[in-house]
């Protein structure tokens, strides 16, 4: 009888182990062998949070894999083995040039590129060293976005208050001079706002004219119900026509967008 009980306990234990393993979420990682071998910190961190990764080289990124809900791409625009080509097709010019600056470590999140719903996480740095470090730095951000553990209490509104432009007779073009915007903390916790700006032009506003991520001017921790009015200037050459300005607000370096505001303007 004792032997039967022991066998039953052993069988139940095996079933429990397999059920726990089955609960782990598997995500496809696109990476060359160099970046893959250098990013054990990212793998260990995600595994501890219940996320397993299955690595494929960039050459095997086919249409079936592109339809997956979550993809992690490891490496920047200059990474060898085909990674660079994949990244260049996902990032804009400003993001690409930013990754080529010395010491940069970054995480970009692209939504609904090849499927919907979908999140593509691009973990990259200026060199393979920075790419490895970026994986460890942004592991928790990636896990939270995959497991839907974002900070639900965080809420804010951002609004474009106005834009100013002037005509430069020397160059025969308009230059944007400033953008005035406001941000209100409508949640119940402090947070450190980061504002991204994007300006689109062309037919149906399909052409990205200007982008600036992580604008440095910020009020530190924005207290509850606080109202923040700020502006920034830029000299961006644009032609006469209609444009769309988009402001996104995030919490510090967290890639998740808290709130967004859009406004059309003409020059």
Tens of pLDDT, residues 127-180: 999 999 989 888 887 887 888 654 445 677 777 777 777 777 777 777 777 777
Same domain, yes or no, for 94 and 178?
A: no
Give CA separation, 162 vs 14, 210, 212, in Å.
64, 17, 17
Is residue 180 within 8 Å of residue 197, measured between CB atoms?
Answer: no
User: Which of 58, 52, 267 has the alpha carbon at shortest distance from 143?
Assistant: 52
Give CA separation, 176 vs 158, 160, 218, 247, in Å.
20, 14, 21, 15
Average pLDDT over residues 195-203: 85
Q: Kindly indicate the confidence band of residue 206, based on its pLDDT and cuts at 50, 70 and 90.
A: confident
Q: What is the CATH number of the domain that holds 214?
A: 2.60.40.10
61 in a structural domain: yes
The pLDDT of residue 33 is above 50 = yes
Q: Which residues pair with 183 in a beta bridge?
A: 158, 228
pLDDT digits over 53-85, tens only? 999 999 999 999 999 999 999 999 999 999 999
Is residue 159 within 8 Å of residue 261, measured between CB atoms?
Answer: yes
Three-state SS for 101-138 is: CCCCEEEEEEECCCCCCCEEEEEEECCHHHHHHHHHHC
Same domain, yes or no, for 140 and 180?
A: no
Cα 143 to chain centroid distance, Å, stands at 12
18 in a structural domain: no
Cβ–Cβ contacts within 10 Å for residue 238, how many? 16
Number of domains in the chain: 2
pLDDT digits over 99-124, tens only? 888 888 888 888 889 988 888 999 99
140 in a structural domain: yes
Same domain, yes or no, for 171 and 250?
A: yes
Give CA separation, 56 vs 63, 108, 126, in Å.
13, 20, 22
Same domain, yes or no, for 127 and 226?
A: no
> Residue 185 is part of which domain span?
156-266
- pTM for this one? 0.55
Q: What is the CATH number of the domain that holds 60?
A: 3.30.379.10
Ramachandran assignment for 216, one of left (phi > 0), alpha (psi -120 to 50 degrees), beta (any other): alpha
Residue 135 sits at the vertex; the CA angle it makes with 44 and 47, to the nearest 5 degrees, is: 20
User: Residue 46: its pLDDT value, please?
Assistant: 92
């Amino acid at each position: 009888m004792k032997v039967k009980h022991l066998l039953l306990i052993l069988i139940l234990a095996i079933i429990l182990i397999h059920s726990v393993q089955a609960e782990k979420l598997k995500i496809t990682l696109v990476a060359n062998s160099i970046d893959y071998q250098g990013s054990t910190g990212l793998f260990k961190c995600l595994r501890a949070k219940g996320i397993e990764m299955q690595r494929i080289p960039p050459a095997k990124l086919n249409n079936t894999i592109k339809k997956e809900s979550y993809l992690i791409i490891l490496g920047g625009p200059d990474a060898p083995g085909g990674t660079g080509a994949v990244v260049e097709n996902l990032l804009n010019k400003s993001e690409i040039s930013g990754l080529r600056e010395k010491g940069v470590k970054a995480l970009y999140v692209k939504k609904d590129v090849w499927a919907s719903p979908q999140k593509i996480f691009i973990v990259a740095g200026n060199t393979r060293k920075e790419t490895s470090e970026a994986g460890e730095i942004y592991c928790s951000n990636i896990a939270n976005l995959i497991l839907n553990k974002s900070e639900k209490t965080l809420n804010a509104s951002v609004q474009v208050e106005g834009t100013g432009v002037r005509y430069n007779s020397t160059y025969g073009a308009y230059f944007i001079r400033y953008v005035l915007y406001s941000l209100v903390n409508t949640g119940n916790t402090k947070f450190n706002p980061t504002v991204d700006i994007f300006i689109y032009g062309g037919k149906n506003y399909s052409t990205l004219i200007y982008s600036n991520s992580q604008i440095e001017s910020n009020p530190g921790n924005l207290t509850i119900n606080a109202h923040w009015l700020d502006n920034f200037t830029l000299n961006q050459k644009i032609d006469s026509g209609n444009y769309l300005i988009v402001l996104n607000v995030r919490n510090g370096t967290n890639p998740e967008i808290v709130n967004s505001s859009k406004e059309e303007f003409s020059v």
